[in-house]
Structures are given as structure tokens and as C-alpha cells.
Structure 1
Amino acid sequence: MSRRRPQDSTDLYAKLYGPPKPAVDPAQAGASGRQPVGADLDTDSVSNFWVEGDRDPTKTRDVPYLYPYFYHAVLFANGKPLTAQNILAVVEYVSQSLGLQGSVWMQELADERTRTVFMDRFATPLDTDDRREHRPDDQIDFIWSWRTTARPGLRQFLQQTYAHLNGPTSQLKNYGPDLPFGIWSRD
């Protein structure tokens, strides 16, 4: 078996699911040259996620499941060993970020009842969850089924989180081989 070269940037998650796609695809503009609805909005704004969404509420989840390959790819990209502690530290980071973002989306749409259910279900400490390594996937499933207009924002959030965790300013690079819990609160 040949050793992996350090300059080999093959990413298991990207290999399985493809590289992240841009938020606005120029090919969507079509022959008319018109941009899709919301393309001219500030891409950092949460509000642009609701401008254009999936119109088919029966569409199955097209966001890949995060466990286990997402976490393996993040740890590998950051040179961290693949241990249960490290996986759970990244799971906690993604879960906290997704919980905050999901809560913001529900609050923005004034859906306080759903926000309360979401927070009751996912705001507990990670170690109290029987499906702790699957919590972010469960959160994605909840948000996916909540509103079809949340789906573009969910896709974009996951792409940005993946890029952030693997980028040069990743918080994971500040730690040795064993990642601590609570990294999300330091970001």
C-alpha cells in the first residue's frame, strides 16, 4: 500500500459527495441572462435564504448525511487523529452552530412554536443524547421537513461550515491531537 503524499488534497467527503457548489450558479441565469430571484441580494444575509426555495415539499433530503464521513474528512484535513473524542468535539461544534442557525431561521419567520420544539429537542447537552453522533443529522432532518424555503439556507450553511472547519482560520488548528469540547463557544 502506497503512502499518501502530503500534497495530495483528495478529500474523502468531497470525493463521495462532490465539492461544495457555489451559492449562485451562473448557469442558472439561462439564455435570457437574468439572474435567479435573490441573486443580487447580500450573500451574508440570512434573509436571502427565504427568497427562493424548493417548491416540492415531498422532495427527499438531498443534503448528505454528516456521520461519519463529514467528521472523518474534517479531522483528516486538520491533521487530527480519528478518535471518538475528536469526532464528538466536531459533532458538538456542528450541532451548536446548526442549533443557533436553525433557531435564528425560525425566529426570523416568527415561528415561535416550532422554535420551542426545536430548542427543547436539541438544546440539551450532547452527552445526554442517545444519538449524540447523529444529532446534527437529526437537526438537518428537522429543519429540512420544517419548511421547503429553509433548504437553500441549510445547504449553504453546511457548505460554509465545512469550508470554515477546513480553512486556514479553523479553530481546530489551535489544539493538539485531542480536541476539547466547547470549541464552538471560542469561535
Structure 2
Amino acid sequence: MGFLRPDEPLEARFSNVLFTPGDRARRAVTKGQKGIRDALLPDERALGIALDERSHDETVVLTDRRVLIMRRGGRALVRATDIAEVPGAYTEVTPGGGTFDLDRMGVRIHMRDVTSANALTTLINNAVLKHRPRRITMLNPDFYLDLLSRGGVPDTPVNRARLAERTEFAIGGQAGAFTAQLRAPEAFEEFVRRFGFDSPNRRLQRADDMIDWLWAWHPLCHHGLTRQVAKWRDGLLRPGSFLTAAAGSEIPDWNDSTTSNEQAWRLVFEKNWRG
């Protein structure tokens, strides 16, 4: 007569990084740990493991190199993504807990403990930031020079400064949208403290400074920033833009005395917060 073989105990290297430590989740990961071991590359370390606490099926394993999407506590590998290619994560508060979401990857892990969901979100976002340096080329000087040239506008100190000033304003508006959508009013206030005042000595570098700050703040800004810079460039080169309208001459001074940059950015923030 045969005997049932007891499950091997959950290895400490997995137990210590388990973000869903409930009994059922722990049993599922214990049964799936061989699959996790087999999925790891040589010298690759697991940094975080979470199992959906509704289905007890979909499983996320964060390593020091990749994010592994698995099933049944780790028994089956669905896909592996280099951490630098992960868009980012966020937590959504839901009835009975929180949902950990991997943006644009179709992964939602329901967790009973919102604090644990937030901690896993922070862990993954910090890993993405560590592995994905800024991918937007510096705007100063080549981006501005290319726009002036293609728009038929003379390259003068005045034209460069006025183009940079309007680009700065546009990036600031995007910052208001990002911080509102990510429900981070404290980040918006920090952005305003840093950039909500005139800085003539850094006029040409200011938009780059803003991109650097947003890129280092949250990985979910990366895709939107990249798209925004491309959209800004394409829009300026269309007929009728302030750039192409200034072909052969000087970009007009942009003097909107009714609304400061900070006031305009706050309006964007408030609109996106309500939305």
C-alpha cells in the first residue's frame, strides 16, 4: 500500500518574499515552488511573490531581472518580461482589499491586504526605475535646433528661448495630468515647488529638468512622456502652429498675463483629478 507524500516545506527564499501569506495562498505557492525554481535563471533571485486571493491561480513573481507571470502558485509559466520593459504598477482599492495592477500587461492580482498590495507596487516600480534610465533624448539643444530648422525659423537665442519656454509649459501641464491620474497630490506640489517659478538662467534646460524629475518619480510617466514629446514635435511642425507661422522671422513673445504656469498646471491637475 502506498503512502501520500507530504508537500515539501516552502523554501525560505520564497516564504520571505511572499506578499500574500494567507494559508491557502501559501499552500498554492508551496505546491508551485518547483515551477518557480525551474523558471529562475542562474543567479536570479525572487524579490516578491503574490497570488490572486480570489482565484488562487494567477501568480506574479518579481525577480532582480524580470517579472514572471505564472499560474497555480507557480506551477506553470505564462510569460516572462524583462523588468526594464514593464510599464509600471499601481494599486486600486477594491471592496475587501486592493488590486495590484501591472499597467498594459493585463495582470490584476486581488489581495486582501491593501498595505501588501501597495508594498508590492512600490517594489516593482522601484525595480523598473532602477533598470530603465531615461529613454527620451535630451531636448536641449538638438530637439530645439531640429524643430527650428524644419519649421523654417532662424536659430537665434530669442527663438530658442521662446520655443523652450512653451515646451516647458506643455511638459508642466502633462505633469499635472500624471500626478492627478496617479492620485499623488504631494508629488504635484513638489513639482510646483521645483518648477512653478521663472528661471531665466535655465530656460533652455528647464523642460529636460522636468522630464528627468518625472522619469525618476514614477515609471507610469515614461510611456506618456515619450508619447507627449513626439506629439508636441509633430504638432509644432503642422501648418498654422506658432512655430511654422514664424517661418523666416521671430517666434512671438508668449505673454499670457492672466494665468501663470502654476495656475494653468493646477487647472490641469484639478480637471484630471475630477475625471
TM class by shorter chain equals 0.5 to 0.7
Identity, % of aligned positions = 25
Higher helix share: 1
SS in 2 for 1:87: helix
Say which of 253, 257, 261 aligns to 1:181. Answer: 253
> What TM-score, normalized by structure 2, do the two folds share?
0.45
Say which of 135, 138, 159 aligns to 1:65. Answer: 138
By how many angstroms is 1:111 displaced?
0.6
The answer to whether the aligner puts 1:91 opposite 2:156 as a matched pair is no
Name the structure, 1 or 2, with higher relative contact order (CA <8 Å, separation 6+): 1
AA paired with 1:150?
C
Any runs of at least 4 consecutive aligned residues in structure 1 with deviations exceeding 3 A, and if so which? 50-55
Name the CA shift for 1:83/1:171 in 2 (closer, same or farther; >3 Å).
same
Looking at CA atoms only, which structure, 1 or 2, has the larger radius of gyration? 2
Q: State the match for 1:21 in structure 2.
A: none
Structure 1 residues not aligned, in runs of 5+: 1-49
Structure 2 residues not aligned, in runs of 5+: 1-101, 106-124, 260-275
By how many angstroms is 1:181 displaced?
2.7
RMSD over aligned CA atoms reads: 2.6
AA paired with 1:143?
L
The answer to whether the aligner puts 1:145 opposite 2:197 as a matched pair is no
The answer (yes or no) to whether the contact 2:168–2:206 under 8 Å persists in 1 is yes
The answer (yes or no) to whether the contact 1:140–1:154 under 8 Å persists in 2 is yes
Q: State the match for 1:103 in structure 2.
A: 176
After superposition, the C-alpha distances for 1:107-151 in whole angstroms (9 at most, x for unaligned) are 1211111100101211212xx343211000000000100101110
2:255 and 2:149 map into 1 onto residues whose CA distance is 17
Query: How many correspondences in the alignment?
Result: 136
Q: State the match for 1:116 in structure 2.
A: 189
Say which of 229, 233, 238 aligns to 1:162. Answer: 233
